[in-house]
Every structure is written in C-alpha cells, then in structure tokens.
C-alpha cells in the first residue's frame, strides 16, 4: 500500500488493498436498518446481519456476502458519499469528506483491536437478525436518522 494513501488520494484512486484497509472493522455497516417508507428516515437496529461474526466483528463469508445476505450493499466511492447513514466514524466517509482518520483507526494505530478498545465497534452489542422474527424488528431500534435534505 502507498504511504498514508488515505491523505493523498481520492477514494476513486485507491487500489483494492487500500480500499479494504480503510475499513476500521467496527461492524456498524452490518447492522440491520429499516427505512420509513413515508419519511425516508433510516432506523438502525441492534440486530446484525446473519453473516456477521459478533466476536471477531467480521463477515463470515465476505467474498460471497452480496449474494448470501439480503440487503448487503457493496460500498463504492459514490455510495459512500450518498449513504448518510454510515457512521461519522467510518473511514470511508471521513476520507470522502476530506477529514482525518481518528487515532484509534487501525491505519493510524497499527492495531486492528484499537477500534474495539475505543468502543467504536459493535462487538458484544448485537444479536443476529436470525434470532428475531421480522415482525418484531421495530423492538430493536437503537437510533433513527432523519433523511438529509
């Protein structure tokens, strides 16, 4: 990887390894979300994708996730700029906005566990979407983001 690539290149200029390295491993993008059809607001649930290993906070089948997990979306530079529901701490979002990466980000700290120690990850905070009937999802709402105008 190129030295401090996140400070020197736009998202579109990153190679595959650099792109993947921007992920801080928090797992927040793997939380189930519901969109209010009337308002467009996005509710985030404490339920995680069935493929998320909640201890490692990693996808159990990353290469095949898009076909195996309904609603899984491939992040692209264009989508990162459009998906306002990505957390403020997200490395992709921060680079897209010209912001610095926080000290706990693995690219800065050199330690992939720093995201967990900083309390940014969803480790230990979720249950699998498979453990809950879909009709009960609303009981698991932890945050609601109004649509950005």
pLDDT digits (tens, 9 = 90+) for 36-75: 999 999 999 999 999 999 999 999 999 999 999 998 999 9
Query: Structural domain tally of the chain?
Result: 1
Helix (H, G, I), strand (E, B) or coil at 48: strand
Nearest to 40 by CA among 79, 78, 83: 83
* Residue span of the structural domain in which 120 resides: 5-145
Query: In the prediction, which pLDDT does 119 show?
Result: 96
Helix (H, G, I), strand (E, B) or coil at 143: strand
> What band does 148 get if pLDDT is binned at 50, 70 and 90?
low
The set of residues, in sequence order, having a beta carbon less than 8 Å from that of 94 and lying 6+ positions away, is: 88, 100, 101, 102
The set of residues, in sequence order, having a beta carbon less than 8 Å from that of 102 and lying 6+ positions away, is: 89, 94, 108, 118
Mean pLDDT of 68-85: 94
Mean pLDDT of the chain: 95
Task: Output the pTM of the full model.
Answer: 0.92
Asked whether 145 and 84 are in contact (CB, 8 A), the reply is yes
DSSP secondary structure code for residue 33 in this structure: E
Segment 78-83 long-range contacts (CB within 8 Å, at least 24 positions apart) = 80/11
């Amino acid at each position: 990887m190129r030295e401090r690539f996140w400070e020197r290149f736009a998202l579109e200029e990153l190679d595959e390894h650099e792109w993947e390295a921007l992920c801080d491993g928090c797992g927040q993008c793997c939380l189930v979300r519901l969109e209010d059809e009337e308002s467009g607001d996005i509710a985030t649930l404490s339920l995680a994708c069935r493929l998320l290993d909640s201890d490692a906070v990693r996808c159990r089948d990353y290469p095949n996730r898009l076909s195996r997990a309904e609603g899984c979306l491939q992040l692209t530079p264009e989508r990162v700029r459009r998906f306002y529901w990505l957390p403020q701490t997200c490395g992709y979002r921060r680079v897209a906005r010209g912001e610095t990466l926080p000290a706990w980000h693995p690219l800065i700290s050199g330690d992939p566990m720093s995201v967990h120690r900083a309390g940014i990850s969803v480790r230990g905070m979720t249950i699998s979407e498979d453990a809950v009937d879909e009709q009960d999802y609303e009981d698991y709402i932890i945050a609601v983001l109004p649509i950005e105008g």
